[in-house]
Amino acid sequence: MAKELPEDLVKQILVWLPIVSLLRFKCVCKSWYALITHQSFITKHLQHNNNNRNILLKMRDKITKDYVVSTLSYETLQLSHTQPAPPSVFAIDKSICIVGSCNGIVCLQDKSLHNFKVVIWNPATKETKIVLKSNLSRFPNVIDCIGFGFDAKTNDYKIINLLCPVHDFNSIPSEMIIQSEVYSLSADSWRRGDSPMCCTFDPYICGLNTYVNGMASWEARVDGWEGVLSFDMNNEVFLKTWLPDVLMVDGLNSWRHFFLLNESLAMAVTILVADGPDGAWNGKMWESCFDIWLLLEVGVKDSWTKLFTIGPFKEIERPLGFWKNETMFLVKWDKQLVLYDPMTKEISNLQIGYRVTRRTSLVTYMETLVSIKHLKSKTDVDNGHLSISVPSVFQAA
């Protein structure tokens, strides 16, 4: 006579399965649907697969010019699959960027001028939500930056939106009014936040991959101060970190790019070096070096540590992020994406078949069942319990 497997054993079996299989198994019966969609199972599956990471790349198809999102294996960098940005959400010609990814949920933004469209998306389950339009007033000469992250205290995903009226990047008065607003996914609403009293900016690229340890960060400045502005998603407070003293030099020959390395905020400082006599530009392309810094503690200026310098390069435009063992993703001037090993100083091409653009984004990503439309509060998660019956598929004699 058939004997049902224990419920806990069934859960232990299912928690090992990939998302694509679990999505199919939701159709086996009502009890399996209830199990796989229950918050306690989703959380357990997320925790169990926390190390199964991928890399998410937003690029542009060379032929159709459509924006696509490609998933690469984190271990091998092999292209797993490619899909369009959420259909009917963004027009083909819009400037889409990946703001960030957290627990398998991805935040996308349309960076077109005088437009605010933000989408929360789970690429694995295809769930999509268009975020309500921000209540902040938008006007010409405004810089908007947003950050995306997770509030572990309330089991909520949040977006921080900053608007900075700027007429001159070289002079940002401290009395300037910078607006902020916080969006809660569970409440599906915006509320006004405190002013950070400094202007964030991202004039060259977007989708800074800087969310770590519950904080989103941006480059920021105001007259008399220049550094990193961070927003704590749990406590909804801003923290400022001065740049290292050696970088506090005005000039047009350096740019800064931010991403993550070893669960800390990393900064690549671009130094352009002229190749003419006495450092003069000879009319040809500049060479570029990149100083790599690591911020060990947000808010502590002295915790900046310079790791190494790479370059000079003639063919490299900018860094895009880190891979394993401090290997870096770099973008060439011909819009090819390459890998650079600072130990061997070797450059290798990544053959992924898509064009890198000024707004190409790269984030670490993991496939999860986390639901955008049925997000529950932390109380519901902690108290949740589900009793299921096991279908005959998992019955033993």
38 is a domain residue: yes
Q: Are residues 21 and 133 in the same domain?
A: no
Q: Are residues 102 and 59 in the same domain?
A: yes
Q: Quote the pLDDT of residue 134.
A: 83
Asked if residue 393 belongs to a domain, the reply is no
The H or E element spanning position 292 is strand 287-295
- Which has the minimum average pLDDT: 1-5, 277-281, 338-342, 391-395? 391-395
CATH code (residue 277): 2.120.10
Q: Are residues 92 and 113 in the same domain?
A: yes
- pLDDT exceeds cutoff 90 at 297: yes
Place of tokens 């605010």: 116
- Residues 41 and 120 both lie in one domain: no
Residue 181 inside a domain? The answer is yes
Q: Is residue 323 domain-shared with residue 235, that is, in the same domain? A: yes
Residues 40 and 152 in one domain: no
pLDDT at 348: 92
Whether residue 28 is contained in a domain is answered as yes
| Residue 395 confidence (pLDDT) | 33
What does pTM read for this prediction?
0.84
Contact between 48 and 74 under an 8 Å Cβ cutoff? The reply is no
252 has pLDDT over 70: no
Beta bridge partners of 287: 273
Q: What is the pLDDT of residue 295?
A: 95
Domain ranges, residue 85: 51-241+251-374
Tens of pLDDT, residue by residue over 98-142, are 888 999 999 988 776 556 788 999 999 999 999 998 887 766 666
Nearest CA among 354, 329, 361, 355 for reference residue 342: 329
- In a domain? residue 395: no
Q: Both 22 and 100 in a single domain?
A: no
Q: Is residue 390 part of a domain?
A: no
Looking at the structure of the chain, the number of domains it has is: 2
Give the pLDDT of residue 382: 47
Q: Radius of gyration of the chain from Cα atoms?
A: 23
Percent of the chain with pLDDT over 90: 35
Whether residue 21 is found in the same domain as residue 124: no
Residues 374 and 209: their CA atoms lie apart, in Å, by: 26
- The answer to whether residues 30 and 85 belong to one domain is no
Counts for the chain of helices (H) and strands (E), in that order: 5, 27
Residue 391: inside a domain: no
317 and 169 both lie in a single domain? yes
- The reply to whether 2 and 129 lie within a common domain is no
Mean pLDDT of the chain: 80
Q: Is residue 31 part of a domain?
A: yes
Higher pLDDT, 255 or 154: 154
- Provide mean pLDDT across the span 292-316: 94
Given a cut of 50, whether residue 80 has pLDDT beyond it is: yes
At 169, the pLDDT band (50, 70, 90 cuts) reads low
